[in-house]
Structure 1
Amino acid sequence: MTISTATTISELKSKLTSWRSAHQTVGFVPTMGFLHEGHQSLIRKAASENDRVVVSIFVNPTQFAAGEDLATYPRDLAQDQLKCLEAGADLIFTPHVSEMYPSGFNTYVTTSGVSELLEGKSRPTHFRGVTTIVTKLFNLVQPNKAYFGQKDAQQVAVLQQMVRDLNQDLDLIVCPIIREADGLAKSSRNTYLSTDARQQAVVLFQALTLAETLISNGELKTSNIIAALNTHIQAQSLTQIDYIKIVDPTTLQDIDNITTDILLLLAVYVDQTRLIDNKLIHLEA
């Protein structure tokens, strides 16, 4: 089995034309490359539900702010191609920046509400970059279904709002977080972690588990839960908390007292690497 690669929009459209003429369904997995098991789980899901699967690999500069890791973001296209092939993709789209943002480009897609909280506060230009590139990719690929991971929970909420508000004609499928054996959420940025930082990074998963335990034991005041998680995370020597939030899963608005299901979101620096994680916690009756 082989896998096709397109580097230009014209090549991509040429590949897609034959599929559409044969009335084949298309699943789409947008990525920034340096693929891991989490990405492969999305590709496998897409392959199981569609006739064809397109994976985009594009490190999108507009979602990085000045001083973030755009230049050093890990890249390994040869390995990515193998992982796409293993997982069942049919076509990889790997455009150059100039292909997606040609000279004179000055149009952006912005959302309000969910994009202005959490990651939007820490990285105020981030989601404009995400919604712009994803809209461009949706327009180009025109998939029947697009697949995203729950690990980027706020991104999922932003894109769900975008698809709904702009009447984009596709189904957005959200897939579970894939974790390492010790619970650390798989992420391309995990490669930045030193040995000591990698050992301490598991504290994010431990904090999610601690919160679930506290809630199941009857602690429903979010300030008490957040205080306990703060203490637990800060006990590690290399950690610095960006935020710990307990929010409504749909609106991402803060909750003071838990009366229904909640979404717990973490953003923590472990040494110099910023990691995020989350868990949807169900309130038992």
Structure 2
Amino acid sequence: MPSKVYYTKVEDDIILKGRREKRPTKAIAGELGRTCVSVRDRSSRLDLKGALPIVRKPHFSTEDWDKVAAMRAAGETFRAIAHALQVSLGTVLSQRQLMSTKPETKPDRTVTSAGILEMISPRNDQKLKLTQIAIRTGKSIRAVEYALRSPLNPERKPLKTPPRAYTQAEDEEIIRLREQDGLTYAQIATQMQERSTNGVQGRYYRYLQDRGPIRTKDKSWRYTKDEAEQLIRLRKEGHLSFAQIAELFPGRNALSLSSKLSKLMKGRK
């Protein structure tokens, strides 16, 4: 097996000179008595060493693309084309991909005030659908939706404001009007003005109806020993439901009594 023949300084200078003069790789290889593959590989190594800096072009001109087309028609590879144009292989491939996917004319996506009014008027006057307006104006459906939300649209729907939280004074007023005065939810909503019937009803059912006793720092809401014994006696001996027992315990609800009885019976087992 023949030993590897290394490139000398003279051969490197010939390769670099041929590259600068844009000589074909085949001609340089014939002068050195080496193969084209070997010369191209050595040329790439010299590029990595910085012996011949590559001029990277951000975009190819029309002349460059004519050269690329001619060399491709002659059967040259993209690597050979990159060496001839003194650019990297990735540059040639990326520019080729961009040119193959780049449209000839860039679509105009800017929307002016006149364009917004042009999309708003068919919607308000003729009651056209969004797809019909998009086809007529040449815009996307999303662009039409944004135009209808524009302040230029006189019939734009007002933005929904987040609901305001109930205050303690409002909760006390709902409890008083419902439990003491016996008003309906519609009548309560009429008196509160800023609240709806569904809002008042939901507030009372979810948070105020089974509110239980108010828990203070002295923990007076806890069950006493007498209350616990009375609860067990009424449940076992009297066979009363928790709703009936709750009537005998002011400030207690059925859910609280059921939970307390479960804890008491669990401790006795």
TM-score range, shorter chain: under 0.3
Give the structure with the larger strand fraction.
1
Tell me the TM-score normalized by structure 2.
0.18
Larger Rg computed on CA atoms? 2
Give the structure with the larger helix fraction.
2
Tell me the TM-score normalized by structure 1.
0.18
